[in-house]
């Protein structure tokens, strides 16, 4: 059986990967996640997914490394992690009543030979028209200050949405499982 490492400390990504009959470990990567000047959200998500996998591969020879990252955009503007309540509130106000597009990149790296396969999932989230009181109630309940877009879809953040369009609901939470299964299959794994 192939040794697999999820290049993440996210409990949500771990829970998603637990859906598959895989034995894996988790290891956080140490990379600079800042976007490059004028970098498109899709490019950012893929670049960071690859960088996370490469970072973890340095300490995990003879493994398959799974890296994943996400970027979001609204009105052509990249949405970063807000960092604090004030910025989260401003971000959520801007997103109210609008479509936010999430780009979730996934990378599978074979540290034996350096082979890399990648995939990208695109998900559109349509926000309800929300007033400041509703947004503050949400922020009182969850503190999504380390989340692109200022919400946690795996938690109470789902209450902010009117609808979601995408191929894989797992991608919005941070790991596009359908794409990952395809990558694992390309590496020779049989699923199911």
69 is catalytic: yes
- HEC letters along 105-152: EEEEEECCCCCEEEEEEEEEEEECCCCHHHHHHHHHHCCCCCCCCCCC
Per-residue CA distances from 36 to 11, 40, 54, 56, 103 (Å): 27, 9, 18, 21, 16
Catalytic-labelled residue, pool 32, 38, 69, 75: 69
The residues annotated with a catalytic role in the active site are 69
């Amino acid at each position: 059986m192939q040794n697999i490492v999820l290049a993440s400390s996210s409990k949500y990504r771990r829970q998603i990967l637990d859906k598959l009959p895989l034995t894996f470990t988790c290891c956080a990567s140490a990379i600079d996640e800042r976007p490059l000047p004028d970098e498109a959200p899709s490019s950012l998500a893929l670049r960071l997914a690859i960088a996370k996998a490469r970072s973890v591969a340095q300490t995990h020879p003879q493994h398959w490394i799974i890296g994943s990252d996400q970027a979001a955009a609204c009105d052509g503007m990249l949405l970063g992690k807000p960092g604090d309540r004030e910025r989260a509130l401003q971000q959520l106000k801007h997103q109210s009543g609008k479509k936010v597009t999430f780009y979730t990149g996934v990378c599978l790296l074979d540290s034996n030979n350096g082979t890399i396969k990648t995939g990208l999932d695109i998900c559109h989230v349509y926000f309800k028209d929300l007033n400041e009181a509703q947004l503050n109630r949400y922020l009182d309940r969850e503190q999504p200050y380390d989340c692109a877009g200022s919400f946690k879809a795996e938690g109470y953040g789902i209450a902010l949405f009117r609808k979601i369009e995408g191929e894989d609901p797992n991608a919005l939470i941070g790991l596009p499982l359908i794409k990952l299964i395809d990558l694992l299959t390309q590496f020779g794994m049989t699923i199911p």
